[in-house]
Structure 1
Amino acid sequence: MFIVIFRTCILYLLVVLVIRLMGKRQIGELQPYELVITIIISDLATVPMQDVRLPLILGIIPIMSLLILELILTELQLKSNFMRKIIDGNPSIIIKNGKLNEKELKSQRINLDDLMEELRISGNLDISKIKYALLENNGQLSIIPMDNTTMNLPAILYVDGQYNKETLSQMNKDTKWLEQKLQNKGVNIEDTFIVLLDSTGKLIHQLKGDFEKMESEKK
């Protein structure tokens, strides 16, 4: 009995550590690949707990291997927009300017009754009053009401050395345009952590180290 308790405690602490290293997210906020890894880890941990004939290392090695795989995939997403798109995909616009996107509804296999239920739960009873409804990568539905007809979806144009060329292309802009815009503000793109276009069409940027500088000034 004491062996079972000991093995259970070890595996429990290991799983808690692994989930903690994967980041602070609730189950509903996990990306598909993160959810799959989490489910597999939980299954791997239960087998050595139940069967004391199996060496404990047979549960530890696969769990640590999955942690390493998750960290590698996360790092790839941080370094490459292309890999982020392959692994996570892009948010899908389900409703735009009060109109349902039939193509995305079919592509994402969304039942219209389920969509209407989600809208009612969020307090949005009239589709015509919704400017945007987006199905996020984690499966959650984000809704922007049509309170301000001039409001658009914010867009990330540049982050930590990576240009979002797809978004720039949709705006009929290129990287030189973005660099010139920043230079007009006296900002070098290489010193910038993130550049985004807010919902009003204003270009917003944050320099590298701005947060640390702000925190140090508070002390």
Structure 2
Amino acid sequence: MNGLFELSAPWWQFVLRAVVVYILVMVLMRLSGKRAVGQFTPFDLVLVILLGNAVQNGINGGDNSLTGAVIMATSLIALNYLVAQLTARYRSVEKLVEGEPVVLARHGKIFKKVLLRQSVSEHDFEKALRKNNIEDVADCEVVMLENNGEISVVPKQKQ
């Protein structure tokens, strides 16, 4: 019970470790693309679990104390709150953290290179059309890959 509250390092090291690992994971998740974040598959879930395990020691530095856990958890929650506040207030931060929507098709023309670059399969593209009761991409004004990984479809206006 002695080591339950004893830190193995100064408190500020836990805060610094949490900030560095948070930023690293944010950058890696942004680089992995919108579809990986927005549409979790079983493989993505395994990745997140393993990623959490991989960075655990980077955050706690081998410390297993309750005090260290409280400092790290509080630091991560505070950092996440700060990022949320910054993205809500500043468009440039929002763009950096969340990215921007990407046009996958316009006026009935599919941009296959964009689909490939964004890791969107033709099956997922067609599924989004079906969800919007559209049979043919020619009936679409624009199809977008949103920041959250969802595919939104704007149908052509009937005249």
TM range, smaller chain: 0.5 to 0.7
Once the two structures are superposed, the pairs formed by residues 65-76 of structure 1 within 5 Å of their partners are 65-76=75-86
Q: 1:87 aligns with which of 94, 97, 101?
A: 97
- Rounded to whole Å, the distance in 1 between the matches of 2:77 and 2:151 is 28
What amino acid sits opposite 1:143 in the alignment?
V
Quote the offset at 1:118 in angstroms: 2.6
Aligned match for 1:104, one of 105, 114, 120? 114
1:131 is matched with which residue?
Answer: 141
Change (3 A) 1:66 1:118: same
Identical residues among aligned pairs (%): 25
TM-score, length of structure 2 as denominator length: 0.55
Segment drifting more, 135-144 vs 73-82: 73-82
Deviations 1:16-53 (A, max 9, x none): xxxxxxxxxxxxxxxx5xx9xxx68xx69xx9xxxxxx
Aligned residue in 2 for 1:59:
69
Residues of 2 paired with 1:148 and 1:133: CA distance?
17
Q: Deviations over 1:90-122 (max 9, x none)?
A: 001111111112232122011112211232233
Given residue 154 of structure 2, which amino acid in structure 1 is its aligned partner? I
Bigger radius of gyration, 1 or 2? 1
Cα displacement (A) at 1:82: 1.8
Residue 143 (1) aligns with residue 153 (2): yes
Matches within 5 A, 1:161-172: none
Report the TM-score when normalising by structure 1.
Answer: 0.41
Q: 1:102 to 1:58 in 2, by over 3 A?
A: same
Unaligned segments of structure 2, at least 5 residues:
1-36, 41-47, 57-63
Matching residue of 1:10: none
- Please give the alpha-carbon distance, in whole angstroms, between the structure 2 residues aligned to 1:123 and 1:58: 52
Q: What CA distance in whole angstroms lies between the structure 1 residues aligned with 2:143 and 2:129? A: 9
Between the aligned partners of 2:84 and 2:125, the Cα distance in structure 1 is: 30
- On the 8 A contact 2:128/2:152 being kept in 1, the answer is no
Distance 2:96 2:111 in 1: 22
Deviations 1:57-76 (A, max 9, x none): 33322221111111221222
Aligned residues: 103
- Structure 2 residue matching 1:62: 3-state secondary structure: helix
> Partner of 2:128: helix, strand, or coil?
helix
Per-residue CA distance 1:115-171 (angstroms, 9 max, x = gap): 11232233222110011111110111111111257xxxxxxxxxxxxxxxxxxxxxx
Query: Which has more strand, going by share of residues?
Result: 1
CA distance in 2, matches of 1:135, 1:143: 9
Q: Secondary structure at the match of 2:147?
A: coil
Structure having greater relative contact order (Cα 8 Å, sep ≥ 6): 2
